[in-house]
Structure 1
Amino acid sequence: MKINSPRGTQDILPPDSFDWQFLENKAHEISENYNYQEIRTPVFEYTELFNRGIGEATDIVEKEMYTFEDRGGRSITLRPEMTASVVRSFLENKIYGRAQPTKYYYIGPMFRYERPQSGRYRQFHQFGVEVLGSNDPDIDVELMAMGIDYLEKLGLKDFFVELNSIGCPECRPDYVADLQEHFSEHEEELCSDCRRRLTRNPLRILDCDECAETTGNAPEILDYICSQCHDHFAQVKEGLEQLKIDFHIEPHLVRGLDYYTNTVFEVKSHDLGAQNAIFSGGRYNGLVEEIGDRDVPGSGWALGLERLLLVLEEQRDEDIKSDLDVYVIKIGARAEKLSLSLLRKLRRAGFSADTDYGDRSVGSQMKDADRKNSDYSIIVGEDEIQKDSLTLRDMNTGEEKMIAQDKIVDVLADKIQ
């Protein structure tokens, strides 16, 4: 019987893997620019971490987690998101004892049991950033600016921020009470999930697309936030204005996770139509204390790489290619032996190099070099061996030049920057 990959997963093969490497390399670059260090956590954690961190009334915990019992009888969950894992690591490794803030970034797979569709998989990948140990509103601004700078590095443009504050544990209860009263008057208009959320967590109703008409005239949290939250939000807006980052207030934006406080945001593109959200996040000042025993502020965002690839396909003019520096073309038995040491010499000098392993004709080798987008080819034949030289061919112009074997690395270094 034929065995296929599980539904909602995919094999990432060349040339698509070149696109993934491009995104990941740019993620490493922007993180280095902003002085964020990489963190790698296990792909599975104890289930309690996500129940406590994400919130038991969220769709993720109620419907979407891959949870199983290991052989020791412990409940294990494949990570559906990364923030809770980062916080667990921060606490377990006592990073709070170091100078703060701590700035992390990550790239890796997450797992949610969702209905697969374009750009959405059950195993999906995120690039995200987290800052722990600072309540400075400028951190929230820096995070949004960093994400936008990353997108611009990829060649994307024309972004705006949808922004809101969802207050803090001190000012939110009055809002939640009024929200519950509002939705109780419209209970018949709510979907079955939101009727259940009405008593457990009415904030989640604001995040439901199916109940969007009912939420349109719901109370707005900005009318309820305390003076401290108001001042924090004002500084975030001022910082965005200073950086000339376009934003507008979305008063019912709450995000889909329970741990958020104060700033929440979604970054969108004007060029993408209805499905225009690219990355999102916010502040989560109570999460570290919820998971552990320390009151440490935090803020961050995450971006889905599968979704981002779709955006790139819509906006870019040409495909991303993984070019080969040099292709070695062999003519005759003696060239076969010489090419082995030549290839290693080129690779150890830092060039990407390949050759034919199928005893093909010179014409076929040339076609293979062209198919692999090689910038140069090196021809090794009897004539070259006798002269202790190599023929260097520019694959773009067709220009050929005889180069002494001991000079080939230096010549290529001048040509390939």
Structure 2
Amino acid sequence: MTAETATSRPTAFAAPKGVPEYYPPESAGFEHVRNTLQSAADRAGYGLIELPVFEDTGLYARGVGESTDVVSKEMYTFADRGDRSVTLRPEGTAGVVRAVIEHGLDRGGLPVKLRYAGPFFRYERPQAGRYRQLQQVGVEAIGVDDPALDAEVIAVADEGFRALGLTGYRLELTSLGDADCRPAYGALLRDFLAGLDLDEATRHRAQINPLRVLDDKRPEVRARLADAPLLVDHLSPASAEHHAAVKQHLDDLGVAYVENPRMVRGLDYYTKTTFEFVHDGLGAQSGIGGGGRYDGLMAVLGGQPLSGVGYGIGVDRTLLACRVEGLEGSAAPWSTARCEVFGVPLGDAARRRLVVLAAELRQAAVRVNLAYGGRGLKGAMKAADRSGARFALVLGERDLEAGQVGLKDLATGEQTSVPLDGAAGSVIAALG
């Protein structure tokens, strides 16, 4: 290669910083986590909603809260070609509530129970478990204020984690009160914060929403907040009763929890029940999912004054938690095999016949792959072994003449011949 040719080669591209990619064979684990979490919600009657990847910026500024780090620091916001300000979605609840209002879903039976999955975007400093494009599975139940519904939402998330085999996580729970107790508590907290040595940005945040200061992760700030009044100690009678009922339902369901009265979560719309699932095996980014009730959000976004409760689970972090617990390679659902049967054709005529047989098997819901590119027997069998398939179908010219095809068990090495006519039935029977 000449120097001129080398310098003319196009620059290679790389994925954006802070964006994880999943590809075979590791993507099998990601897919399993996402599907398992969605299945738990599906069994509880949550129907699928597909949301836009970007929305009007005002939806998040109004719905999520301008005092939050999400809105003030982390959103991907830009002007489109019509000079409209749009934002890549940083979370799912505001978009779901907007869709419920826009399409009148709240005018039918309540609660409206919806689930979603997909990518969300936050501009953060990339590190293990913290990404700029994060994958989530979430649910929202809108229209009914019932502690049993709060407990159901929490239990659905817990069921998803259990179905994955996770054991090393805990559920943290608290209440953020309601409109009857939040104002008085806010004034009490502001008075407390006024006596602390805080930087100007933190003081400004305290004036907008003093609860946001309790969410500060800086050790020096957290130390000064050690004696801050706790909202759970100032709940209205209705909020206290609601919180007690949620805990009773969780006890009845066998869902273990610990109370964390200092939990705030990162979004302004939460009221009453607030929760987070934490896995200490992940280090600093220990949260794998969380959510809560948001009784005022729908009215803020222009809809009826209906309550709602939901959660968002991080698929990326849940996958990391499964890896920490050694689950990824230990159970059949985590298998990276993408086929059950691998076809090994030896010659053009054999290839044509195996292509048809593979199609017949796929129509019967059997996962089938073939050796392509005219590989010899040795190379094709190596590919069959790498595929993770249970059986190989070996077909050569002599087999065609005899009307037979070889069915080889790739675990034992045992090979038998079965008639080509009806071979699909023989393979299905062998798979059990």
So what's the TM-score if we normalise by structure 2?
Answer: 0.92
Contact persistence 1:49–1:291 (CA under 8 A):
yes
SS of residue in 1 equivalent to 2:421: helix
Deviation at residue 166 of structure 1 after TM alignment: 0.8
Q: How much does 1:342 deviate?
A: 2.0
Matched residue pairs, number? 415
Deviations 1:286-312 (A, max 9, x none): 000010131111000111111111111
Aligned to 1:120: 130
SS of corresponding position for 2:91: coil
Give me the whole-angstrom Cα distance separating, in 1, the residues matched to 2:69 and 2:238: 30
Stretch of structure 1 that moved more, 95-104 or 30-39:
30-39
Q: Secondary structure at the match of 2:180?
A: coil
Report the equivalent of 2:52: 42
Report the counterpart of residue 209 of structure 1 in structure 2. Answer: 217
What residue in structure 1 maps to residue 150 of structure 2?
A: 140
Greater alpha carbon shift after TM alignment, 16-25 vs 126-135:
16-25
Q: Distance in 2 between matches of 1:212 and 1:179?
A: 14
In terms of mean alpha carbon deviation, does 389-398 or 16-25 score higher? 16-25
Q: Say whether the 8 Å CA contact 1:180–1:202 is kept in structure 2.
A: yes
Cα distance in 2 between the residues matched to 1:58 and 1:288? 18
* Whole-angstrom distance in 1 between the partners of 2:258 and 2:352: 66
Name the residue aligned to 1:313: 323
Q: How many Å apart are 1:270 and its aligned residue?
A: 6.3
Question: What residue number does 1:81 align with?
Answer: 91
Structure 2 Cα separation of the partners of residues 138 and 297 of structure 1: 14
Measured after TM superposition, the shift of residue 158 of structure 1 is: 4.4
1:107 matches 2:117: yes
> 1:266 corresponds to which letter in structure 2?
E
Distance across 2 between alignment mates of 1:318 and 1:97:
43
Give 1:26 shift.
Answer: 1.1
> 1:295 is aligned with what amino acid?
P
1:222 aligned onto 2:232: yes
Which one of the candidate residues 330, 342, 365 is aligned to 1:350?
365
Runs of 5+ in structure 1 lacking a partner?
Answer: none
1:415 aligned residue: 430
Indicate which of 248, 251, 272 corresponds to 2:258: 248
Root-mean-square deviation (CA), in Å?
A: 1.6
Q: Quick check: 1:404 aligned with 2:419?
A: yes
Is 1:370–2:391 an aligned residue pair? no
Q: Which residue of 1 aligns with 2:7?
A: none
Structure 1 counterpart of 2:406: 391
What's 1:64 paired with? 74
Shift of 1:141: 0.8
Question: What residue in structure 1 maps to residue 201 of structure 2?
Answer: 193
Query: Structure 1 349/21 Cα, relative in aligned 2: closer, same or farther at 3 Å?
Result: same
Q: Does 1:333 align with 2:348?
A: yes
Question: How far apart, in 1, do the equivalents of 2:77 and 2:69 lie?
Answer: 14
Taking the aligned partners of 1:253 and 1:336, their CA distance within structure 2 comes to 62
| 1:182 has 2:196 as partner | no
Distance in 2 (CA, whole Å) between partners of 1:373 and 1:74 is 50
Alpha-carbon distance in 1 for matches of 2:407, 2:336: 21
Asked if the contact 1:261–1:283 (Cα under 8 Å) also holds between the matched residues in 2, the reply is: yes
Shift of 1:242: 1.4
How far off is 1:5 after superposition?
Answer: 2.0
Question: Kindly tell me: are residues 24 and 275 of structure 1, through their superposed partners in 2, closer, same or farther at Cα, counting changes over 3 Å?
Answer: closer
Distance 1:4 1:267 in 2: 33
- Report the Cα offset of residue 275 of structure 1: 4.6
Aligned pair partner of 2:374 in 359, 368, 373: 359
Q: 2:25 aligns with which of 15, 18, 43?
A: 15
Q: Deviations over 1:264-300 (max 9, x none)?
A: 0112246656654321110001000010131111000
Q: Aligned equivalents of 2:326 and 2:429: distance in 1?
A: 30
Distance 1:123 1:195 in 2: 30
Contact 2:137 2:314 in 1 (8 A): yes
Whether the aligned pair in 2 keeps the contact of 1:329 and 1:380 (CA below 8 Å) is yes
- Give 1:55's aligned amino acid: G
Question: Any conservation in 2 of the 1:155–1:316 contact (CA below 8 Å)?
Answer: no
**Cα pair 1:129 1:302 within 8 Å, conserved:** yes
Q: Percent identity?
A: 37
The answer to whether the Cα contact below 8 Å between 1:66 and 1:113 also exists between their aligned partners in 2 is yes
Question: Quick one: which of 235, 246, 261 aligns to 2:245?
Answer: 235
Preserved contact between residue 288 and residue 318 of structure 2 (Cα < 8 Å) = yes
Look up the SS of the partner of 2:422 in the other structure. helix
What is the rounded CA distance, in whole Å, between the counterparts of 2:168 and 2:246 in structure 1? 20
Q: Distance in 1 between matches of 2:266 and 2:386?
A: 46
User: Contact 2:37–2:157 (CA<8 Å) still a contact in 1?
Assistant: no
| Cα distance, 1:338–1:234 mapped onto 2, change above 3 Å | same
Per the alignment, residue 296 of structure 2 pairs with 286
Task: Tell me the secondary structure at the aligned position of residue 406 of structure 1.
Answer: coil
For the residue of structure 2 that corresponds to 1:288, the secondary structure is helix
Displacement of 1:416 after TM fit?
A: 2.6
Q: Where does residue 152 of structure 1 map in the other structure?
A: 162
